[in-house]
Amino acid sequence: MRKGIQIAALMTSAAMGLAGAANAAEVKAVSAARLLDVASGKYVDNPLVIVTDGRITAVGKKGDAVPAGAVAIDLPGATLLPGLIDMHVHLDSLAEIGGYNSLEYSDRFWSVVQTANAKKTLEAGFTTVRNVGAADYDDVGLREAIDAGYVPGPRIVTAAISFGATGGHCDSTFFPPSMDQKNPFNSDSPD
């Protein structure tokens, strides 16, 4: 099995249903028509990818030895791609509900939204995201739920909270600086 392929073989977990799997000890043998080896820039025909505990442990060719008891997943005609990484997401938001309109919903509503968005993000092929801020450490809780296998989603690098100036981009109150309501995570000076 080629080391270069192993390095390049961060497969899209959405196609395999791996991230957040309740039974992480399950071994899966994934085969497809081809695999994109990003290290060489070439396709590998008839790949076989072995996944153990939600991680790729071996990459070879169809016909190679498969661990006993492995669940076979055959994706005929499919091309396996590396998992994508999105370095700027807000899983706890919706594009169609922003600004003052977001205040119509409870904080817990956004906790549920982020769970749905995490699943959609994984299904779109993103296996890792950097969530650059969320209310009430919701992204930390979501990461814990995904890591524990309770909900599907990508690996999350959390920012935990958004920092900004009062009345600025990250001020979740949406109030101007002249208002008395303050977000505890905003700062208006280096002091």
Closest of 88, 9, 18 to residue 49, by C-alpha = 9
φ/ψ bin of 121: left (φ > 0), alpha (ψ from -120 to 50), beta (otherwise): alpha
Q: What is the pLDDT of residue 12?
A: 39
The alpha-helical segments, DSSP class H, found in the chain are: 3-8, 13-16, 107-123, 138-147
Quote the CA–CA distance of 36 and 29 in Å, as a whole number.
Answer: 17
59 pLDDT band, cuts 50/70/90, is: very high
25 pLDDT band, cuts 50/70/90, is: low
Which whole number is the average pLDDT over 31-58? 94
CB 156 within 8 A of CB 87: no
CB 69 within 8 A of CB 81: no
pTM over 0.85: no
Which whole number is the average pLDDT over 36-65? 94
Q: At what angle do helices 138-147 and 107-123 cross, to 10 degrees?
A: 50
For residue 122, pLDDT beyond 50: yes
Quote the CA–CA distance of 178 and 188 in Å, as a whole number.
Answer: 12
Quote the CA–CA distance of 29 and 60 in Å, as a whole number.
Answer: 10
CB 6 within 8 A of CB 56: yes
Query: Percentage of the chain with pLDDT > 90?
Result: 54
Tens-place pLDDT, residues 129-153: 999 988 888 999 999 999 999 999 9
Residue 171: CB atoms within 10 A of its CB come to 19
Query: Percentage of the chain with pLDDT > 70?
Result: 75
Domains of the chain: 3-82 (2.30.40.10), 85-158 (3.30.110.90)
For residue 10, pLDDT beyond 50: no
